[in-house]
């Protein structure tokens, strides 16, 4: 029998491969959790931006009367807001469909520039009864 001292080259290579596979799994987990975190963050921001626009229209209607949405100029009814560096961060589109019985408000928010390439689009629709 031979006296074995130390490890062979095969044993070292197998242990290095197992270590690399473990590290790769941890890195993949960190990457996917970062993507999910950014997705939740931007969805939260987009939802709040859409809710803000709907509340602005509700406030306009409350201050000026129920029929005031039909009196808004077309550029205020169909609005597009762009924010960020030269309008690259997000775009908020507002459409109001007015009728004497009810108004339909549609707000869409689309983030264009993100740290992680995750498509974020939020659309909120609400109906306001005109009575």
Tens digits of residue pLDDT in 12-70: 999 999 999 999 999 999 999 988 888 888 888 889 888 988 888 788 777 776 556 55
Residues shown for the chain: 131
Q: What was the pLDDT predicted at 22?
A: 96
Q: What was the pLDDT predicted at 65?
A: 65
Of 50, 31, 43, give the one whose Cα is nearest residue 94: 50
Per domain, the residue ranges of the chain are 9-129
Q: What was the pLDDT predicted at 29?
A: 96
Query: With 0-12 CB in 10 A as exposed, 13-18 as middle and 19+ as buried, what is 68?
Result: middle
Structure confidence by residue, pLDDT tens digits, 100-116: 778 788 888 888 766 66
In this structure, the dihedral spanned by the alpha carbons of residues 69, 74, 80 and 83, taken in order and rounded to 10 degrees, is -80
pLDDT of 93 above 70:
yes
Instruction: List 81's β-bridge partners, or say none.
Output: 92
Q: What was the pLDDT predicted at 113?
A: 64
Where do we find the tokens 């939802």?
Answer: 47
User: How far is CA 13 from each of CA 19, 25, 26, 125, rounded to the nearest angstrom?
Assistant: 10, 18, 20, 59
């Amino acid at each position: 029998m031979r006296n074995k001292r130390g490890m062979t080259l095969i044993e070292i290579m197998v242990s290095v491969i197992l270590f690399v596979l473990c590290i790769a799994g941890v890195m993949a987990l960190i990457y996917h959790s970062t993507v999910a975190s950014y997705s939740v963050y931007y969805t939260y921001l987009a939802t709040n931006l859409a809710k803000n626009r709907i509340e602005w229209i509700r406030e306009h209607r409350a201050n000026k009367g129920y029929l005031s949405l039909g009196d808004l100029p077309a550029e205020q009814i169909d609005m597009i807001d762009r924010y960020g560096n030269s309008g690259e961060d997000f775009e908020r589109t507002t459409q109001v469909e007015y009728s004497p019985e009810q108004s339909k408000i549609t707000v869409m928010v689309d983030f264009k520039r993100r740290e992680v390439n995750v498509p974020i689009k939020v659309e909120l629709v609400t109906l306001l009864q005109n009575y």
